[in-house]
Structure 1
Amino acid sequence: MELLRKYSAEGMLIFLCIYLLGAFTGPLLQKFGHPELGQKVTAIYRVFCHQRVERSMFILGQEGFIRFYSLDELEAKGVIPAENPYVPKALSTSIYGHPYVGNDQVGYKVALCIRDLAIYVALVAFGLIYILKYRISGKDLPYTFKWGLILALMLPMMLDGGFQLIAEIFDLSWVPDAYFASIWKRIITGGLFGVGFGMLIFPNLISSNNMLYNKQEDR
């Protein structure tokens, strides 16, 4: 237990890696002969992510190892119905989220949307680099610009996500479809947010551990 407290940053990194890799186990199980188990794994992630098909990555399909699809493309292929039976009409008949997991043709949906994937990949990458750097050199990030940089990195996703939610709720027809359809926008803003969030949690975990152990040594 003491070792776990001392290396809580490493523990957090391991947990995030397991969570990230777990999002791929669902489609892998479905592809390789265990559809029921794969769908159960994917269902667990429904609590944490909307898994909307037009904002998700499909893997291991006949049409490509990694693919992204719009609703129109999936409807044209006949893999989703023209009218969504999965959500109340009062919410939106254009939102295909949790239940659709894919098939051999289009591939199987990763259990996290592309923005969440970008967040966790960036978070894990930053955590790994930061922990290695700190353990080798013992130096923290410069405090003179850290908080401003964190805000600058996290703000684009917060603004984009907030505006996107408002645009969908109030059906702002003047917002171009390309804005909603952009995968790269989600990858970039999610990746920046992940780095910013990593700057927030990993240095503070290590700093808290150092303060705790310094106090114990002083006693």
Structure 2
Amino acid sequence: MSGSILDGAGRGDILPRRKRRIFLWLLLGGLIVLWFGAFVPPILAKNGFHSAARVGYWLYRPICHEKGYRSFFLFGAQRVYPLALAGASVGMNYERVLESGEPIYRAAGEFYGDDRFGYKAALCQRDLAIIGGMAIFTAGFLIFRRRIRPIPFWIWIFCGCAPMAIDGGSQFLPAFWTAQERLRESTWELRVLTGLIFGVSTAWLALSYLEKKDGLCQ
């Protein structure tokens, strides 16, 4: 027993494995903070702390476009205000929210809400789904890591990336044969679904690779 304890390889494995487990917990904690943190600015704005809310939106701006018509709203008449192009069955579309005459694609990132329409989350619908999916898989990996098999890279490309790329990328295609400026606008359901799949599959690919390469969390 003493020989195995004093063995260099055995001793050398203990701390790295503990550090890897700590890394996983830190990753999960960071994802949870990032996800819930996106709802802090609308809560601050609702309670009158508009300057603090603007700081919160500004902090999230580098990682998200924060366009209102692709975001969830809190404390307002509706949870979502999609563009009319999306064809969603909602009471008000985003064009009605921004009746100022300002170019809607530019103004959508600056408008964070008001008491009538509510206040948007600091992350868009798809980003919330991506981060949520990564957090869900990371939590599952901590519990069931020995039962989780690695995901092939091609599955990640075709099942994880492709749906989101098609759904998101097609929104930028011009509609040459119609009077519309763009071909289509996605719905919040598709953004959440494709974002969730991408988040789960990305965490699955990365963590299973680390598990295979370095014995993560064994």
TM-score calculated relative to the size of structure 2? 0.75
1:186 paired residue among 170, 186, 191: 191
- 1:160 Cα deviation (Å)? 2.5
Deviation digits for residues 116-166 of structure 1 (CA, Å, limit 9, x no counterpart): 1111111111111122112xxx3341x4x533332222211123323323x
Conservation of the 8 A alpha-carbon contact between 1:59 and 1:109: yes
Contact 2:28/2:138 (8 A) holds in 1:
yes
Report how many residues are paired.
193
Superposition pairs of residues 154-165 of structure 1, within 5 angstroms? 154-165=161-172
1:105 correspondence with 2:105: no
Task: Give the distance between the partners of 2:186 and 2:168, measured in 1 at CA.
Answer: 13
Question: How much has 1:70 moved relative to structure 2?
Answer: 3.0
| Kept in 2: contact 1:52–1:113 (CA 8 A) | yes
Task: Identify if the C-alpha distance between structure 1 residues 193 and 111 changes in structure 2 by more than 3 Å, giving closer, same or farther.
Answer: same
Secondary structure of 2:75's aligned partner = strand
Please give the per-residue CA displacement for 1:31-51, whole angstroms capped at 9, x wherever unaligned. Answer: 123111011111111111111
- Distance change >3 Å, CA 150–CA 102, structure 1 → 2: same
The alignment status of 1:81 with 2:103, answered yes or no, reads no
Per residue, is there more strand in 1 or in 2? Answer: 1
When the two chains are superposed, the root-mean-square deviation of aligned CA atoms in Å is: 2.8
13 and 204 in structure 1: CA distance in 2 versus 1, 3 angstrom threshold: farther
Unaligned runs of 5+ in 1: 85-92, 215-219
Asked if structure 2 preserves the Cα contact closer than 8 Å seen for 1:24 and 1:111, the reply is: yes
Larger radius of gyration: 2
Could you say which residue in structure 2 is the equivalent of 1:28? 43
TM-score by length of 1: 0.75
The answer as to whether partners of 2:134 and 2:202 remain within 8 angstroms in 1 is: yes
The change in CA–CA distance for 1:26 and 1:125 in structure 2 (over 3 A counts) is same
| Correspondence for 2:160 | 153
